[in-house]
């Protein structure tokens, strides 16, 4: 199947966004995809903020994007936009780092007032980076994601159903994009 890079753009160690992504990664892996998690918060701040393109962590992240067939990008909403740490990473990637790739944008936030951040803040950047296909994304309310004491993640039933649909659509689109690339 495909190689999927699953990018959490949250700066928080206890991130609902990262936990949700890792939860969804298991579904993609069960469908036969190789899933590679990348938590942007683990990249040294001096490399991101200093725009150090030669820093080993930036070089590795760039290589992970290049290697992936598809990319899941998750971010919390801050000030009606995606996180600054995600912006810092995207700024350091090549202009067309998403060329030929299928992308699934996922956003988390505390209020439905931020739903449009997905389409009006994140999607245009992904498009400008050359994504071959940006599938339908999803906004998840923070209150719909809970973490058990054992670290397990529970997603509210209606949200879980919607996320299953967007992840499955992403998975199906990965197959179509791979076929088109092989034929082209």
Structure tokens at 7: 């990018």
Report the alpha-carbon angle 129-132-134, nearest 5: 85
Whether the predicted pLDDT of 182 surpasses 60 = no
- Domain limits for position 16: 3-183
**pLDDT of res. 68:** 98
Distance CA(32)–CA(36), nearest Å, equals: 13
Q: For the chain, how far is it from start to end, CA to CA, in angstroms?
A: 18
Q: Number of structural domains, the chain?
A: 1
Q: Of 135, 138, 3, give the one whose Cα is nearest residue 70.
A: 3
Rounded CA-CA distance 3/31 in Å is 12
CATH of the domain at 46: 3.40.50.360
Whether the per-residue pLDDT at 177 is higher than 70: the answer is: no
pLDDT tens digits, 128-166: 999 999 999 999 999 999 999 988 899 999 999 999 999
pLDDT at res. 1: 87
The answer to whether the predicted template modeling score (pTM) of the entire model surpasses 0.75 is: yes
pLDDT above 60 (res 179): no
Phi, psi at 21, each rounded to 5° = -60, -45
**What pLDDT, in 10s, does the model give residues 86-116?**
999 999 999 999 999 999 999 999 999 999 9
- Per cent of the chain over pLDDT 90 is 89
pLDDT at 26 over 60: yes
């Amino acid at each position: 199947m495909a190689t999927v890079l699953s990018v959490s753009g949250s700066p928080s160690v206890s991130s609902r966004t990262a936990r949700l992504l890792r939860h969804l990664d298991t579904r993609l892996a069960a469908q036969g995809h190789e899933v590679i998690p990348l938590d942007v918060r683990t990249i040294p701040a001096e490399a991101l903020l200093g725009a150090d393109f030669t820093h080993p962590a930036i070089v590795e992240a760039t290589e992970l994007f290049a290697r992936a067939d598809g990319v899941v990008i998750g971010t919390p909403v801050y000030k009606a936009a995606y996180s600054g740490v995600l912006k810092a990473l995207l700024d350091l990637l090549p202009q067309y780092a998403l060329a030929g790739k299928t992308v699934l944008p996922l956003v988390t936030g505390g209020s439905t007032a931020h739903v449009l951040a997905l389409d009006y803040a994140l999607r245009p950047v992904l498009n400008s980076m050359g994504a071959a296909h940006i599938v339908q994304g999803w906004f998840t309310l923070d209150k719909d994601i809970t973490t058990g004491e054992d670290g397990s993640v529970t997603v509210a039933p209606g949200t879980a159903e919607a996320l299953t649909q967007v992840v499955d659509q992403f998975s199906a689109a990965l197959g179509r994009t791979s076929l088109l690339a092989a034929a082209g």
